[in-house]
């Protein structure tokens, strides 16, 4: 089974992350690079609804166009999207 890292490397091979604008925060942002992936949820943005859909369908990875972390994060509290992702073992690219 493919891992998050395998999928990241594939995306990087066709759309290199190092070619993004310097200010853009693209790439692997949340999760476990070694986690196995059987289902992926694609979206424009990470929202609570998207995370709930990923949980409901058993997706281990969400791939979005816009990064969930764009500005520095000062905390990760129980009501945050990042906390919800980590708690449910969902990675983000």
Q: Encode the chain (93 residues) as per-residue pLDDT tens digits.
A: 999 999 999 999 999 999 988 888 888 999 999 999 999 999 999 999 999 999 999 999 999 999 888 777 888 889 899 999 999 999 999
Rounded to whole angstroms, the Cα distance separating 63 from 52 reads 14
CA distances from 20 to 23, 39, 57, 71 (A): 8, 26, 31, 16
Residues 30/22, Cβ–Cβ less than 8 Å:
no
């Amino acid at each position: 089974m493919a891992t998050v890292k395998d999928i990241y490397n594939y995306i990087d091979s066709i759309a290199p992350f190092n070619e993004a604008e310097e200010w853009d925060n693209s790439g692997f942002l949340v999760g476990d690079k070694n986690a196995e992936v059987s289902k992926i949820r694609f979206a424009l943005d990470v929202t609570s609804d998207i995370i709930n859909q990923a949980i409901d369908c058993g997706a281990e990875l969400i791939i979005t166009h816009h990064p969930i972390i764009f500005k520095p994060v000062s905390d990760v509290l129980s009501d945050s999207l990042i906390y919800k992702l980590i708690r449910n073992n969902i990675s983000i690219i």
